[in-house]
Amino acid sequence: MSLAEAVELRARCDYRGALAALAHADGVEALVARSRLHEDFGDYASARADAEQAGDAVRLAGVALAERNADEALALTAGLVCVERGGALEELARLDEAAAVYASLPDDDPLARLGRGSVCCARGDYAEAERELLVALELAESRFGAWSIEAAGALNALGMTYKYWGRFDDGRQMYERALAILVRAFGDEHADVATVHHNLGGLEHARRDFAAAEPHARRSVELRRRALGDDHLATAEDEAALAPILHGLGQDAEAETLLRHAIEILERELGAGHPETAAAWNNLAGVLDDPEAAADAYRRALAAKEAALGLQHPSLAITLNNLGVNARRRGCDGEAEAFYRRAIAILESRVEHDHPTLTRARENLGRLLEESGPSGRLEGNRTEEEAVRLASNTNEDAEAEVEAHRIATNSNETVDRLATNKNETVERLAGNKNETVERLAANTNEETAEDV
């Protein structure tokens, strides 16, 4: 069969047929097309071989991104303006540079619009992310078809945005549509299928339905271990996402084992200052019995987030809330109040009014003020009415985080998103010790938030 026949089969979303049609590819265009299809199916060695034979640096950069080698992708695209370069910069959390690349690409390019939306989501601008991603979805469906993997990429990104925004039902709907497309295209053992299970687990974790979250999170870990082994970065990210869910179910021993293994790999592969690593430290703090050790882990998470994401990113609120809960356990109520108020200030104009993290921080502050009493106000300017208004139940919350992840696009890159909004930053509410602890997550992990 010819390249034209392969293109036609791909246009009909018959990816297996398209790959079979290119079995004897030998021209540059055919090799590039086959490289993309190999990458779609997760065969990165064959994808790389075809890209190298074709001598196509941009295609090779796409393979490097799928292999989680953003530095190689960046070097291969030096001086170029392409989606692959934007993806490499995004993977490295260089969001301003990534945004500039995506903005330079045509407005009718669905992958450029997907990239713009993903950067907005990573910055915590969820309304703008939704606008860009709805355009990306419309363009992908128009150009590639409603059952295309390009449409699945836009749907997954919308799911991530809605999760971080607190629109959980909308997020689940997007993820389920993406999952149906990917299972139809590749079967239920594919890497992108694992990514969507990861994200579904993170979403259910964020709304504190740990029983619903666990099957998805375990499925992603199982798929990743079989495909990549125990010491792969993607496996570690999935383990870090499963752990806070287990913490919410009271299975702290397994959660701590998973987190310590994941942190070792995350620090080795991503560095100590990466948002995924920060999320894992946040979640580890939630399972530690020693309040001082937990405080150190939370501070480490907060410092990494501030350095990578800035001082006003919504993801910080998860760890700030947890630091407040921890400060109360250590008897430092003034410190706790400052943490809660900073978390609330960051979130109030950025998320839905009933977002779990915002609600949790308000309730925690309300309980603190109520317990201080009218004669024991922490700063002398809180009213009893304010305390009663803010307090709604008896326990303070600490949360865990799970980042949501991007899946393959038309360039066939599987890019994990570190937003806090690549395990997305999803919140996890711990059921132990009456704490809800949050974790930053996406393409793989969520953070846990605690209750006091």
With both helix axes pointing from N to C terminus, report the angle between 149-165 and 168-186 in degrees, rounded to the nearest 10.
160
Size (the chain), residues: 452
For residues 95 and 138, what is the distance between their CA atoms, to the nearest angstrom?
Answer: 24
For residues 86 and 95, what is the distance between their CA atoms, to the nearest angstrom?
Answer: 9
For residues 142 and 144, what is the distance between their CA atoms, to the nearest angstrom?
Answer: 6
Predicted confidence at residue 403, as pLDDT, reads 65
Instruction: List 440's β-bridge partners, or say none.
Output: 402
Predicted confidence at residue 445, as pLDDT, reads 53
For residues 177 and 187, what is the distance between their CA atoms, to the nearest angstrom?
Answer: 15
Tokens of 432: 């132990």
Proportion of the chain above pLDDT 70, given as a percent:
83
pLDDT in tens, 166-196: 999 999 999 999 999 999 999 999 999 999 9
- CB neighbours of residue 12 within 10 Å: 12
With both helix axes pointing from N to C terminus, report the angle between 275-287 and 291-309 in degrees, rounded to the nearest 10.
160
Predicted confidence at residue 353, as pLDDT, reads 86
Tell me if 407 sits within 8 A of 383, measured CB to CB: no
- The counts of H helices and E strands in the chain are 22, 4
pLDDT in tens, 65-116: 999 899 999 999 999 999 999 999 998 889 999 999 999 999 999 999 999 9
CA 234 from centroid of its chain's CA atoms: 12
Average pLDDT, integer, range 49-76:
96
Nearest-5° Cα angle at 117, 91 to 204: 80
Tell me if 217 sits within 8 A of 423, measured CB to CB: no
Distances (CA, A) of 34 to 2, 38, 135: 12, 6, 28
For residues 243 and 77, what is the distance between their CA atoms, to the nearest angstrom?
Answer: 36
Q: What is the pTM of this model?
A: 0.78
For residues 169 and 263, what is the distance between their CA atoms, to the nearest angstrom?
Answer: 31
> What domains lie within the chain, and their CATH numbers?
3-109 (1.25.40.10), 204-451 (1.25.40.10)
**Does 437 score more than 80 pLDDT?**
no
AA identity, residue 350 = R
**Does 244 score more than 50 pLDDT?**
yes
**Does 424 score more than 90 pLDDT?**
no
Tokens of 154: 């836009």
**Does 14 score more than 70 pLDDT?**
yes
Q: Which DSSP category does 136 fall into? A: H
Max intra-chain CA distance, the chain: 84
For residues 248 and 356, what is the distance between their CA atoms, to the nearest angstrom?
Answer: 15
| Local confidence band at 382 (pLDDT 50, 70, 90 cut-offs) | very low
pLDDT in tens, 252-293: 999 999 999 999 999 999 888 888 899 899 999 989 989 999
Average pLDDT, the chain: 85
Tokens of 165: 């925004």
Which residues, including other chains, have CB under 8 Å from residue 222's CB and lie 6 or more apart?
none
| Local confidence band at 407 (pLDDT 50, 70, 90 cut-offs) | low
**Would you call 232 helix, strand, or coil by DSSP?**
coil
